[in-house]
Structure 1
Amino acid sequence: MRRTSFGDMPCPIARSLERVGEWWSILILRDALSGMTRFEEFQESLGIAPNMLSRRLAALVEAGLLEKRPYSERPPRHEYRLTARGRDFRPVLLAMLAWGNRHFAPEGASVQVVDARTGAPADPVLVDRASGRPIDGPDFAIAAGPAAGERTRRRLARHRRPDPEEAAP
């Protein structure tokens, strides 16, 4: 079965999924963001088959999220370092971690975000950089951007009805 490519779709979510939408890719990025760089480290952490890990690492390098660097000539060995694009994925992972803890961890958090200085638990939220306000309710909406095509504009205009669950009290 052939996989559909999302790379040419005008949606930024679809384009992002083209690069990181395979679950091993997200877990590799999770481990890279925690400091892992070597093939063996990823393999041990994930329990992934070597051929699958090779394919996923190559795809992340091709997508510009990781950079492959030699660290040994004999035998030839490489490490995988996050690029700026890969480091920019950190807030996405933190949001997934918080969402997973909130909705899929009835036993409690096995991993959490904490203040590095105090150790106090943190609750990641997405905020508007300009105003500092959380982007979690009806004050913010998804709208067509300057590069949106007519199809995107129609889709977004048709589905801009407010969600009653998000209505202000």
Structure 2
Amino acid sequence: MRRTSFDSMPCPIARSLERVGEWWSILILRDAFAGLTRFEEFQDSLGIAPNMLTRRLTALVEDGLLERRRYSERPPRHEYVLTERGRDFRPVLLAMMAWGNRHFAPEGASVQLVDARTGTPAEPVLVDRASGRPITGPDFVIAPGPAAGEATRRRLARRGSPDSAKDAS
């Protein structure tokens, strides 16, 4: 069965899912942020089949989230390091971690974000860069951008729905 490609959809969430929407990809990026770079390290951490890991690493390199660098000539060996695009994914991972801890960890957090100096737990929030205000509630809404097509404009015109003030996408 062939999966649907989101690459040509005008939605930035759909286009992002095209790159990182497969769960192995997100876990590979998680491990890359933890400092893993080598094929064997990813495989040991994830317990993923080698052929699947090869496919996911190749896709992440092709999509510009990881860079493949040779670290040994004989035998030829490569490592995978985050690119700027890959490093820009960090806030998404932190938000997913906080969301998962809040809603799916009844036993408590197994991993958490902490202040590096004090060890105090931190809770990530999305803020507007210009004003510094947290992006919550009815103060911020999703609106059509300059490149929005008619379908996007119609979908976003439905702001009268009860959840529209809570939408984050």
Q: In structure 2, the residue corresponding to 1:29 is in which secondary structure?
A: helix
Q: What is the aligned partner in structure 1 of residue 53 from structure 2?
A: 53
Q: What is the aligned partner in structure 1 of residue 12 from structure 2?
A: 12
User: How many equivalent residue pairs?
Assistant: 166
Query: What is the distance in 1 between the residues matched to 2:35 and 2:131?
Result: 32
Q: What is the aligned partner in structure 2 of residue 118 from structure 1?
A: 118
Contact 1:138 1:162 in 2 (8 A): no
Q: What is the aligned partner in structure 1 of residue 44 from structure 2?
A: 44
Query: What is the distance in 1 between the residues matched to 2:160 and 2:125?
Result: 23
Structure 1 unaligned residues grouped into runs of 5+: none
Query: What is the distance in 1 between the residues matched to 2:4 and 2:159?
Result: 25
Give CA-to-partner distance per residue, 1:53-98, whole Å, 9 cap, x none: 0000000000000000100011110000100000000000000000
Q: What is the aligned partner in structure 1 of residue 94 from structure 2?
A: 94
Query: What is the distance in 2 between the residues matched to 1:22 and 1:56?
Result: 9
Query: What is the distance in 2 between the residues matched to 1:26 and 1:12?
Result: 17
Give CA-to-partner distance per residue, 1:11-66, whole Å, 9 cap, x none: 00000000000000000000001111000000000000000000000000000000
Q: What is the aligned partner in structure 2 of residue 150 from structure 1?
A: 150
Q: CA RMSD in A?
A: 1.3
Query: What is the distance in 1 between the residues matched to 2:145 and 2:64?
Result: 24
Q: In structure 1, the residue corresponding to 2:116 is in which secondary structure?
A: coil
Query: What is the distance in 2 between the residues matched to 1:12 and 1:165?
Result: 19
Q: In structure 2, the residue corresponding to 1:129 is in which secondary structure?
A: coil
Q: Give the Å deviation of 1:158.
A: 2.1
Question: Which letter maps to 1:135?
Answer: I
**TM-score (normalised: structure 1):** 0.95
Q: Give the Å deviation of 1:137.
A: 1.2
Contact 2:138 2:165 in 1 (8 A): no
Structure 2 unaligned residues grouped into runs of 5+: none
Q: What is the aligned partner in structure 1 of residue 72 from structure 2?
A: 72
